[in-house]
Amino acid sequence: MSTGKENKDENSKSFTPSRIFKSRRDSHDDLPIEGWPMGTATLLTEIDKKMMVVLRDNRTLIGYLRSIDQFGNLALHQTIERIYVGSKYGDIPRGIFIVRGENAVLLGELDQTRDVGLIEQVSVEEILNAQRREQEAKQEKNKVLAKALRERGLSFVNDLVQEDQF
Amino acid sequence: MLVELKNGETYNGHLVSCDNWMNINLREVICTSRDGDKFWRMPECYIRGSTIKYLRIPDEIIDMVKEDLVVKAKGRRDAKTARGGQRGRGAQRGSFGGRGGKGPGGPGGRGGGGVGRPFNKPRGKIEIFINEPVDKV
């Protein structure tokens, strides 16, 4: 008897933020959030998790997602910038980020158990050097390509190849 | 705080005000070119929100928000007792006031708050500044 009444009360309250957060913490992560239609896309379930964000400029940020809004703006706490070069990566501590939503390409929870051992962490200095070398190699390649294209009467826009593939 | 634009330029300065579109006013700005090789200093600047890539704010902000919440709660409690249980909205205002010069680095007492506060209402005396230039990657 009493359970029926409680359920009714819960349903009537289920759209308030506090209800959303409570049900998120109480329930299993895979289940839909109580009170929302099935398949509703929301980032609220990801709050306070360690998330990886890839920006349009190809930078990767990893931090605790502390807040979001209706535009997909993201507040990240204890953020690091992770730079990947080949099978190596380096982390640079960056602090608190507020990412304007339109610049985020990807947001995903970081599964810290998955890639252990597959890639190797190196020092910031080392990864920055590796990144610079990679950039220089790419530029060299582009120069050759540009020259070849020019000889064939075609133009080559360096900027388009360099970045912003999204 | 530090503002990076979509074109890679960064603007490092004290937040004066912002609005619902993320348009931002900064004071004592150091602008850095995309490659990090050219710098401009300007007394103030205005940044259109739509050109922003991200903002970086110093860690100390978190502590300030905590302080602010405490002050707010206190204000609310006071208002409650004073007005016999009514919640006083007015008591929440200006809770950042009178704490100038506590921020890290630089001369104190300028700039407005940004986080967890209503937009569009520059007030208070928080120092928002990231001292070191961002490492160019």
Given B53, B57, B62, which is nearest A103 (Cβ)?
A: B53
Q: Taking the CB of residue A75, how many other CB atoms lie within 10 A of it? A: 21
For residue A53, what are the contacts with CB-CB under 8 A and spacing of at least 6?
Answer: A60, A61, A62, A63, A74, A76, A99, A104, A106, A107
Global pTM value: 0.65
pLDDT digits over B91-121, tens only?
Answer: 444 434 334 333 343 343 344 444 444 444 4
Token readout for A132 is: 């610079």
pLDDT digits over A107-120, tens only?
Answer: 999 887 776 678 88
Q: Which residue has the higher pLDDT, A121 or B122?
A: A121
pLDDT digits over A21-77, tens only?
Answer: 444 444 455 566 677 788 888 888 899 999 999 999 999 999 999 999 999 999 999
Coil, strand, or helix at residue B52? strand
How close, in Å, is residue B115 to chain A by CA atoms? 10
Q: Could you tell me the pLDDT band of residue B71, with boundaries at 50, 70 and 90?
A: confident
Mean pLDDT throughout A149-166? 73
Q: Taking the CB of residue B1, how many other CB atoms lie within 10 A of it? A: 22
pLDDT above 60: residue B129:
no
Token readout for A62 is: 């990893």
Is 0.90 exceeded by the ipTM? no
* Rounded Cα–Cα distance for residues B39 and B32 (Å): 5
Given A56, A59, A92, which is nearest B135 (Cβ)?
A: A92
* Rounded Cα–Cα distance for residues B67 and B113 (Å): 13
* Rounded Cα–Cα distance for residues A107 and A85 (Å): 20
Which residue carries 């006031």 as its tokens? B97
Residues in chain B: 137
Q: How far is CA B9 from CA A63, B63, B125, in A?
A: 23, 29, 27
CA angle, residues B105, B106, B109, in degrees to nearest 5: 105
List of chain B residues whose C-beta atoms are within 8 Å of the C-beta of residue A103:
6, 53-54
* Rounded Cα–Cα distance for residues A27 and B62 (Å): 29
The DSSP bridge pattern shows strands A88-99 and A120-121 to be parallel
Question: What is the per-residue pLDDT for B11?
Answer: 97
CB contact under 8 A, B62 and A96: yes
